[in-house]
């Protein structure tokens, strides 16, 4: 009687290999790896633009709502339900304030972006120097 080798051999696909490698990297404790530094660099850079975008969007949305309130006061009889006869004047003031705020959202974006880049510049320059030496 001959003994047969009943073993099963399976090879993972490229997609599964990359998934396995990604999971493995999560648990690896190697802090000097260039991919970790590159990830930190990307995260710092994205954080700067994300903060500027968030601030300018919030300001723009709030002032767009104020502008809409002013336009609704002018174009409807919403002021009558509030009990005021100055709805046209109040609506015009709200609309102008809203327009100014919406227009100011982009310069605010530029200002926040510049300020945040100054804060993060030393860390980013240090990381780029370390990464370019390897």
- What pLDDT is attached to residue 77? 77
Please name the residues in contact with 64: beta carbons below 8 A apart, sequence gap of 6 or more.
98, 101, 102
CA dihedral of residues 33, 38, 44, 45 (deg, nearest 10)? 170
Q: What is the pLDDT of residues 24-62, one digit of tens each?
A: 777 765 555 556 778 888 888 889 999 999 999 999 999
Q: What is the pLDDT of residues 14-26, one digit of tens each?
A: 777 778 777 777 7
Q: What is the pLDDT of residues 64-99, one digit of tens each?
A: 999 999 998 888 877 677 777 788 888 899 999 999
Helices marked H in the chain: 14-27, 34-75, 78-82, 87-133
Map out the domains of the chain as residue ranges.
Answer: 34-133
Q: Whole-prediction pTM value?
A: 0.65
- What pLDDT is attached to residue 18? 79
Using only the alpha carbons of the chain, give its radius of gyration. Answer: 29
């Amino acid at each position: 009687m001959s003994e047969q080798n009943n073993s099963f051999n399976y090879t993972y696909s490229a997609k599964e290999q990359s998934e396995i490698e990604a999971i493995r990297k999560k648990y690896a404790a190697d802090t000097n790896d260039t991919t970790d530094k590159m990830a930190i660099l990307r995260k710092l850079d994205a954080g700067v633009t994300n903060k500027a975008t968030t601030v300018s969007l919030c300001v723009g949305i709030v002032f767009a709502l104020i502008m809409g309130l002013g336009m609704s006061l002018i174009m409807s009889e919403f002021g009558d339900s509030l009990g005021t006869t100055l709805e046209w004047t109040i609506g015009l003031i709200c609309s102008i304030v809203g327009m100014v705020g919406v227009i100011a959202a982009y310069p605010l974006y530029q200002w926040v972006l510049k300020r945040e880049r100054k804060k993060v510049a030393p860390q980013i320059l240090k990381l780029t120097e370390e990464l370019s030496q390897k």
